[in-house]
Amino acid sequence: MQQGLFHYALKRLLQTLPLILCIIILNFLLIHLTPGDPVSLLLQDGASEEMIKTMRQEFGLDKPLYVQLVSYIRSVLKGNLGFSFTYHVPVLYLILERIPATLLLMFTALIIASFGGIFLGVLAAIKPFSARDNLIAFGSLAGYSLPIFWLGQILVIVFALKLDVFPTGGMYDMRLSSGGLTRILDVSKHLVLPALCFASYNIALICRITRTSMLETLRKEFVTTARSKGLAERVVVLKHMLRNAMIPVVTLIGMDLGMMFAGSVLTETVFSWPGIGRLTYDSILSRDYPVLMGIFIFISVAIMIANFLTDLVYCILDPRIRYG
């Protein structure tokens, strides 16, 4: 089994190499073919033609598109993602600076969504088509349908502006100079609303998948056998049904782990969270090509890594999977 898993993992890794190259090329073309000129945005009105020409030469935007593409691919393969037009620092430095904030928000939301979704899904599956099941189904449908940017603004209006329970945005209070426990509590307070908003969609999705998988497991013979032995209903549900129903749920959580990087833009923008999503939004407004391309490459690779690890976990959990 270990040898088969190793060959499967090696094969998947080799398949990702040409995919990464395609992602680099596609991102470059999509960014450079969009309307707008970063030089015009940086210089604003009143700039002379000579100044515009000089800056375009400095950024390498005066060269043909295919020359820029070849140069960019060479730089990426060397680990250089370029230099930001707006922030005047290396793109890799910007991304690494913003990653901790996004990871904190993402993993908090994923934990809330995983435990909350599984718990609600199990509650709904225990008594299918009951009033409780219908109520959870309605709530999950609402959570799945509500736009994140709208839900985020509602949370800010209710809990920040009206009730004054949580801050309106940001990651911490700039007026606090002390660190330690005070800073941790302050960051936790700022984290509540964006994490709940970010987790709403995934809670609903995990809840529905858990319920469906539990109902399918309910019809299996080993569940009937466990009940015929006189085991308590809690043992049957948690030890036999839930463990066997977790495989599709684990797969979904692994996929969410990668997609959350791409889905953080709206949440971080609404709550002014200083992460990758907010950096993406600001870079779009300023037409900062190198930063956008670097972020898109980072997100694409993160999604591929998450899917790769999910496939490996799936193969380990389900021995019926054949490595190939």
DSSP 225: H
Highest-confidence segment of 1-5, 21-25, 70-74, 131-135: 131-135
- The per-residue pLDDT for range 73-115, each reduced to its tens digit, is 888 888 888 888 888 888 889 999 999 999 999 889 989 998 9
- The per-residue pLDDT for range 177-234, each reduced to its tens digit, is 766 788 888 889 999 999 999 888 889 888 888 888 888 887 777 777 777 777 777 7
Tell me if the domain spanning 91-317 has CATH number 2.40.340.10.
no
Query: ∠ CA 288-104-197 to the nearest 5 degrees?
Result: 85
Asked whether the predicted pLDDT for residue 324 surpasses 60, the reply is no
Domain boundaries, the chain: 91-317
Instruction: List, in order, residues 6 or more apart from 208 with CB less than 8 Å away.
Output: 121, 137, 140, 144
- The per-residue pLDDT for range 22-35, each reduced to its tens digit, is 888 888 887 777 76
